[in-house]
A and B are shown apart, each in its own frame.
Chain A
Amino acid sequence: MSTEKRETKKVPTYCFQCVSGPDLIKVEVEDGIATRIEPNLNICGQHPGKGTPCVKAYGLVQKTYNPNRVAQPMKRTNPKKGRHEDPGFVPISWDEALDTVADKLKKIREMGLKDNSGYPRLAVSFGGGGTPTRFMGSFPALLAAWGPADLGFGAGQGVKCYHSEHLYGELWQRAFTLAVDSPYCEYVINCGNNVDASGGATGVRRGAEARRRGLKRVMVEPHLSVTGAMSAEWVPIKPKTDAAFLYAVIHRIIQERGWAEVCDVRFLKEDTTSPYLVGPNGYYLREPETEKPLIWDLADGRAKPFDANIEDAALDGRYTVTGLELGADDEVWRHESVEVKPAFQMLLDHMAAYTPEWAEGECDVPAETIRRVGDEFVAHARVGETIEIEGETLPLRPVGVMLGKSVNNGPGGYHAVWARTLLSVLVGAIEVPGANLGTKVRLNRPANNKHLSAVSSRDGIMDFPFNDTSKDGWASQPSIRNGYNTLVPLSSSSPWAPALGPAHLPWLFQKEAPDNWPRPTLPDMWICYRTNPAISSWNAPEVAERIAEFPFTVAFAYTKDETNHMADIILPEATDLESLQLSRIGGTGSGEQFWKHQGWMIRQPVVEPTVDAMDMTDIATELCQRAGFLGAYNMAINKGAAGMKLVSDTFDYGLEGDVAYDRDEIWDRVAKAASHDLSDGEDIHGIDWFKEHGYMLRDFAQREWYLYPYLKERGIRFELPYQERIKRHGIQLANRLHEVGVEWWDKQLKDYDPLPKYESFPDIWTDFVREKGQDPDDFPFWALTARSMQYAWGANVGLPLIYEVAENVAGHSGIILNKGAAERLGIAQNDPVVITSATGVTRGRAVLRHGIRPDTVLMIGQFDHWATPFAKDLNLPSLNSVTDISLSLTDGTGSGSDIVRVSIAKDTAR
C-alpha cells in the first residue's frame, strides 16, 4: 500500500453537463495537474443532491487531458464539404481566426442582419437544455449585442426534449418540465420518464429517499428502463399508446369509480375551469356585459360570472342559459336560453368511450391493470388532507404522473400531457405538496421566478404569451427559418422560443422548400457551440448533408466531430475545468432541483488550458471588439446578458462603453453584483472570493416550490379540462395559414382540439412506411431510444473512461432485443445485427434482454459517430440513423418522437 502523502489542493467548481445540474465538485490538483474529481460535500446540507455529482462529472479530468483535443485554431482548406471530404484543416493563429470571423461579422452587418427572405444572416446553434449557457461565459452578450440571429436550427430539439410538456406545461402550470414532489409523494404513474437516468444526482437521490419512505411507482413503458427497474411495477405498454392508457385511467376514476366519490370536487369547482359553461359552438358561454365565462350555481339555480360569489358550482348536467360565445377571429354568437354544459360534463361525455377494455386493445395493457392503477392513484391521493409547510397549511396530494420523452412529444404528445395534467387536477394533485410540480419557466417571464408570471387573464386563468394568431397580429413572416412564431402560437416569443419551435424544419425546408413560404436560405454564418446536430438530430445523416451546404461555419470545438467536420473555422475554447464563469444556483429547476437556498456558484480555471484554447468570455470580447460592437456588448453585459445585471438602483458595477475588459475583470464585476444582490449589499464578494469558497447562498422558501398557493391568492384557476384558448388559436391559425396558401401544416392543426380525441398514434409511423413506398410488414419492430446517464449531454463519447463504466449498464454495447424474439430470428447474444428502417440503416451488436417487449428494439444514447476520435471506433448504433424528418411525423407544437418501424437481421457484412 502506497502511503506517500502528496501536496494537493482541492478546487471548487461545478459540473453542469446536463440540465439536471448543477453538481458541485472539487477537483484535486497536484503540481498544476488535475488528478481527481470528488463531491463537494461542503454544500451537503444545502444541495438537494447532498453535494454529490453524477457519473459524468468524473469524466472531466479525462476530458481536459484528452489527447484528441483540437490543439489550436484551424481553418478549412478544402472548399468541398461532406462526410467523405477531408476538410484539410490547417492550424492558424488566434489572431487570424478571430479576424476571419470578425471580418465576416462586419460584412454581414454591412449587408444587413436579415437576408432577402427576412431571415437572420447569422445562425447560432447550442446544445440542448440550456446547459451550454453555463459554459459559454459572456457569449450571450455577443448575441444580445448583435441583434437578430437564427437560433432555430435544431440539434434534436423537439424530438429529444419534453416538447409538449414544455409548451402545455407552461400553459397549464408554469411547468417547463415537471417533477413529482418526491419528499412527500406516495404514488407515481410514470409513462416512460426515465428519471433515474435523466434526473441527475439530485433526482436520483430524492427518488431513492422517496422509495425508502414508501413511494410506490408504476412504470409504464415498452422496455424496462433504469427507472422501470427501480419501480414497484413495470407495465410493458405498446409504444406510443400512453395516452390510451391514461385516458382509460381517467375513465376508471371519473366514470367507473364516480368522480363525485373519489375526485377533489371542491378543487374542481373552485380552482379549475371545470364548471365553466361551454356553449354550442365550443366556446365558453359568457356574461354578455362583462364577457366573463359563466358558471352554473346549483345553490340558487342560475349562471354567474366565474368570479362571482358562487356557492355550489355545477360540474355536470345541462343548463339553459343566456350568454355569448367569443369565437375565433372576433366571431361572436349571442344566445338566448341556450342549452349548455359545464366543461366537466363535456369531459364526462368525452371520456365515456375510453374504457379500460378499449385501452387494452390499443395499448396491450390488461384492463384490470388499468383499473388497479386508477384505484391506487385515487387511494393515495388523500383528497381533503393537508400538510403544514413552513407554518402554512397546504393541501397534501401525494400522487404524481410523469411522462417521458417521446411520450410527451410528437403526435399524441398533447393528448398525453393533457391526460396527465387532468389526472392531477381531478384529485387536486397539482402544484401542492406531494403532487406534480413545475420546475421552472422558459417561455414565461421572468425566467428566474416561475410564480411571477402567474397573472390572471380576463377569464380567471393564467395568462400566457401566445404568439398572436389574429388577423392583425399574426406574424406572416417567420422571424427565423423554423417559423415558430408563425406556426406555433404556444411557443411564445421568449429567448427560448426559437429552440422550442419546430427546430427540425430548417433542415427539412433547406432540402425541399414548402409552398407559399419565404424561400429557405442558408445563413451567411453559422456558429455552433457544444452541439453536434450531425449526430444528435433525428435523421442525423441527412442533417450532416445540410450542414455541409452552409457557406461559412464557425465551430467551437473540443475535439473533431461530425458537425465541425463541415466547419470553416474551428475555435478551441477553454473547456469545463479551464474557464471562468459565475452561474445561478438553487431555487427550483430541472430534474428535481428543489432547493431551500439560492445563490451563485463558480466554474473556474482549475488548470491552465492544455491546448492553445481561449476562454469563451475572452473570445466573445475579442470578436465584439474586432467586429466593432464592443460597446453594445458591454452594455448587454451590464443589462444581465452574463447572468446578472451589473447596474441597478442600488449598485453599479457596470462596464464602460468601449473598453475591452479581460475575463477576470468581467466576472469580478458579475460576482460583486451577484453577491450584492443576494445579500442586499451586506456581503459583497469579488471573483477571488468565489474562487476560494465556490458558492454563495441565501434562503429560499419551500413555499416557492408550489404554485397553487400563489394562484389561490390571486384567484386564478387551472385551465383544465377544457381548452378553449387552444381551440380558438387553432382555428385562427388555420385561417391565417390558409389565407396565405399554406396547407402543409393542416395535419398539425388537428391538435387544436379543446378535448383531445385519441387516435391510434402508432399508425402514424406505420403509415409513414407506406408513404415511403414500402410495406410496413417488412418493418415489424418498433425502434426506440433511452437515456444514458453516463453520456447524455456530456459531449463525452470520446472519453474511454466513460465508455468503460457505461458498459456496465446493459445496452451500451449495442442494440437491446427481446431474448425470445431474437432467438426466433436466430440472433444470439453479441451477434452483429443490422437495423433497417424505410429511410436508414444502423448497425451494432445484439444485446439480448428479457426486459423489453418482443415487438420493440432499443438503442441507448446517440452514437454512430464517424469523425469523433475514439467514438468513431466503437461501432455503436443510433436511432438517429434510422429516423426521418418529416411533416408527417410532426405534431402541432412542432415536435416529433423518437420512434420508427424497423427490421432486424444478422449483419452478414461483418
Chain B
Amino acid sequence: MTSRFGMVIDLNSCVGCQTCTIACKHANDTPPGVQWRKVIDVELGQFPNVERLFLVTGCQHCAEPPCVPVCPTGATRQRADGLVTMNYDTCIGCGYCAVACPYQARTIVHEQNFYYGLPTVQEVKTAHHDRIGVANKCTFCIDRVDDGLAQGLTPGVDPDATPACANSCIATAIHFGDFNDPDSAVSQLAAGGRAFQMHEELGTDPQVKYLYGLDNSTPGRAALADDVDEAALQDPGNPLVGQMQTFWDWRAAMNFTLGGMSAGLVILAWLAHVTGGLDQDSLGIFNVIAGLGMAVGLFCVFLEIARKARFLHVLIRPQTSWMTRETYAVALFYPALLADLIWPSEGLHLVLAVSAAAFLYCQARILPAAKGIPAWRAPLMPWMLLATGLLEGAGLLAIAADVLPGAEGAAVMAAGAGGVLAVLNAILWRNYIGAAKANGIGPLARAVLSNLTPGLRIVGHALPLLGFALFLSLFPEQPFVAAIAGLGAVSGGAWWKFTLITKASHQQGFALPKVPQRGSGTRAAPARMGTAV
C-alpha cells in the first residue's frame, strides 16, 4: 500500500522551545524571518482562568491541499505518499498558493537577505538562489525522506529518513510516520481518539494531527466560548489571529477591479447591442475601452508576479486552477476583440461577450478558492463578484451612454439592468456581512468591512438604484442622471473589491477545537487523589 506520511504533534509535550524551528532553519537553510516550522505561544481564557499552550505550526501536507488546485503552474503538487511538494523552477511566485493555505504555511522571499546585512561565509555556502521569488514551505524534509527510503530506511523510525524537526524535538512532541501503516507510531498515537485536525471544517484533511489529552494528568476538553473571545481575536499581538496577507496587494486588486468592470462592460454592451440599444460602431468602441481596462488590470497583476520571465507558466494548470483558466479566457478575449474590430460580426460579438463572461466567471472563482482568507472564501463571494462586475459594466455603459455620441440608446438597457443589479448587490452584501462571523471572518477583517458598509450602501447601492430608477421613471431625457448612478456603481464596486483585497484580507488564524485541560482556576486539570498511573 502507498504510504501516507504525516505528523502527530502532542500539545501536552511541546514546551515551545523553538528547537524544531531552528533545527528546521538549519536543515533547510531558510533565510531570515522564514520559518517553515514555527511554534506559537497561545493563551486561552482570561486571568484568573487562563491556559497557555504551544502550537507547532507549518505545512499540514493536507490530503486535500487547497494550495495544489489553485496553483496555475503545477509547481505545487501532491505526491502519492501525501507530501505536498514545491518545484522552485516552475513557480512564478504569484502567491495564489499562499493565500489559499489556511495554515499560514507559505512564504515568498523576494530578495536574498542575510542576518547581518552582508552574508557570512556560511550563508553564502547555504544560500538557495532558486528559492527567491517563489513560494516556500515545509517539505517534510522530502530529501531526507526520499534518501532514507532509497536506503531502505523507515521514515519516522530511522532518523536519516525523518524530518529534522521530529529528530530535533527535545520533548518527543513531534512524531512523523506513515498513517497508512496501522502499526506506525503516528497511526497508533492518532488512533487513541485524542487527536484533532486543524480547521477540519474546511475539508483539507490535514495530515498533521494534534494530540490534546492525557487521561492521567491533563485530560482533553472541548474549546470554551471564552477561550478565544472577540477581544482576543481583535488583538493583533495574539498569535492565533491571522494577520493581513501580504501576497496580493493593490496590483491584484487592480485586476479584480478593472478586469471585473471591463468584462461587465463587454457583456452589458453586447446585451444593449442585441436588444437594439447600441450600434455596432459604439459596441466596438466600448469593447476597445474594456480591452484597455482589462489590459491595465492584467499588467498590474503581471507586476505582482515575482518571477516575471516565467509568466507563461501560468498556462500550465487549466485542469484545476481558475487563475490559469482566467488566462485562457484572456487568450480568447483579445484575439476575439482584434478579429471583431477587423471583421465585425454578430458571431464575433458573441464570442467576445462569452469570453468576457468567462473571464468574469474565472475571476469570481479565483478569490473564493483562496481558502486561507476567510473574507474571500465566503460562499457568496462568486455571486458578489459576478453581480458587481455586471453592475460595474452597467455603470460604465450608463456613463458612456452619456458621454459618447451615438451611444445614448444604451442608457435604458444600462439603467434597467443596473437597477436590478444594484438591488442584487445590496442584498448580497447584506447577507455577506450578516454571515461574516458565521463564515469565520475574524473581527479585524469584519471591522474593515463594517467600516466600509455605510459608504458602500450609499455610493455603491443606493445611488445607482436611485439614479437608474429616477432616469427610467422621471428623467428619461437626462442621461447624466443614469451616468451619475453609473459612477456610483463603478465606484462602489471598485471600492469594496479594493478594500476586500488590500484591507480585509486577514489570513485564516489558528484554532484549537480541543485542548488539554490545564491552567488556572476553572481551566485547571481535575483534582486527582492518587489515581493509579
Contact = CB atoms under 8 A, between A and B. Distances in A.
Interface of A: 1-3, 30-31, 33-39, 41, 44, 49-50, 52-55, 58-59, 61-62, 64-68, 186-187, 196-197, 201, 204-205, 207-209, 211-217, 224, 226-236, 372, 375-376, 379-380, 382, 398, 610, 789-790, 799-802, 804-806, 808-810, 818-820, 829-830, 847-854, 870
Interface stretch (B165-173, B258-266, B348-356, B484-492): B165-173
A230 B237 contact: no
Interface in B231-253: 235-237, 239
Contacts of A789: 17
Contacts of B164: 38
Contacts of B39: 808
Interface in B68-98: 85-88
Ranked nearest first, the 5 interchain pairs of A and B with the lowest CB-CB distance are A214-B216, A379-B530, A214-B533, A232-B525, A229-B52
B15 A226 contact: yes
Interface string B389-411: 00000000000000000000000
B128 A805 contact: no
B527 A372 contact: yes
Contact of A852 (B47, B125, B214, B215): B47
Contact of B19 (A197, A201, A799): A201
Contacts of B169: 52
Given A36-B126, A380-B530, A808-B21, A850 B45 contact: yes
A208 B120 contact: no
Interface in B501-525: 518-520, 524-525
Given A207-B15, A214-B217, A850-B43, 20 more contacts: A2-B88, A31-B125, A44-B159, A50-B172, A54-B19, A65-B120, A197-B17, A201-B19, A208-B171, A211-B217, A214-B216, A610-B121, A804-B35, A806-B18, A818-B47, A830-B237, A850-B46, A850-B47, A851-B520, A870-B116
Nearest to A228: B52
A212 B13 contact: yes
Given A66-B116, A851-B43, A212 B214 contact: yes
B interface, over-half SS: loop
A808 B115 contact: no
Nearest to B518: A232
Contact of A376 (B46, B88, B527): B527
Count chain A CB atoms within 10 A of each CB in B47, B236, B529 and give the residue with the most.
B47
Given A1-B85, A55-B22, A810-B41, A804 B32 contact: yes
B122 A379 contact: no
Nearest to A186: B533
B50 A234 contact: yes
Contacts of B16: 226, 229, 808-809
Contact of A211 (B35, B54, B125, B218): B218
Given A38-B168, A205-B170, A208-B173, A805 B46 contact: no
A230 B15 contact: yes
A1 B18 contact: no
Interface in B33-79: 33, 35, 38-41, 43, 45-48, 50-54
A224 to B, nearest CB: 5
Contacts of B47: 236, 818-820, 850-854
Interface string B1-39: 000000000101101111101110111010011010011
Contact of B520 (A212, A235, A870): A235
B83 to A, nearest CB: 11
B448 to A, nearest CB: 18
Contacts of B168: 38-39, 52-53
Contacts of A64: 122
Contacts of A800: 32, 115-116
A270 B528 CA distance: 30
B288 interface: no
Nearest to B49: A850
Contacts of B122: 33-35, 61-62, 64-65
B143 interface: yes
B130 interface: yes
A870 to B, nearest CB: 8
A76 to B, nearest CB: 26
B501 to A, nearest CB: 26
A390 to B, nearest CB: 22
12 contacts: A35-B122, A44-B159, A53-B170, A205-B170, A205-B171, A234-B518, A379-B530, A610-B121, A800-B115, A808-B41, A809-B18, A847-B237
Interface in B139-196: 139, 142-143, 159, 164, 167-173
A1 B88 contact: yes
B27 A1 contact: no
B214 A211 contact: yes
A602 B244 CA distance: 48
A164 to B, nearest CB: 26
A620 to B, nearest CB: 29
Interface residues of B, number: 78
B309 interface: no
B533 to A, nearest CB: 4
A582 B307 CA distance: 51
Contacts of A54: 17, 19, 170
B118 interface: yes
A805 B115 CA distance: 13
Nearest to A216: B217
A790 B237 contact: no
Contacts of A62: 115, 120, 122
Contacts of B18: 55, 790, 805-806, 808-809
Contact of A204 (B15, B35, B40, B218): B15
A800 B41 CA distance: 20
Nearest to B122: A65
A41 B214 contact: no
Nearest to A62: B115
Contacts of A234: 50, 518-520, 524
B24 to A, nearest CB: 10
B520 A2 contact: no
A380 B531 CA distance: 8
A229 to B, nearest CB: 4
Nearest to B524: A233
A211 B12 contact: yes
A55 B50 contact: no
A887 B51 CA distance: 39
Contacts of A790: 17-18
A888 B353 CA distance: 87
B368 to A, nearest CB: 30
Nearest to A44: B159
Nearest to B57: A808
A879 B122 CA distance: 35
Residue among A207, A232, A829 with max Cβ neighbours from chain B (10 Å):
A232
Contact of B22 (A226, A805, A853): A805
A206 to B, nearest CB: 10
Given A41-B159, A216-B217, A233 B46 contact: no
B235 to A, nearest CB: 6
A212 B12 contact: yes
A801 B446 CA distance: 35
A234 B524 CA distance: 7
B490 to A, nearest CB: 39
Contacts of B235: 829, 848
B425 to A, nearest CB: 37
B50 A232 contact: no
A820 B46 contact: yes
A53 B18 CA distance: 11
Given A33-B125, A196-B15, A209-B172, A58 B26 contact: yes
B115 A848 contact: no
Contact of A208 (B52, B126, B172, B218): B172
B43 A212 contact: no
Nearest to A225: B52
Contacts of A850: 43, 45-47, 50
A67 B118 contact: yes
A36 B27 contact: yes
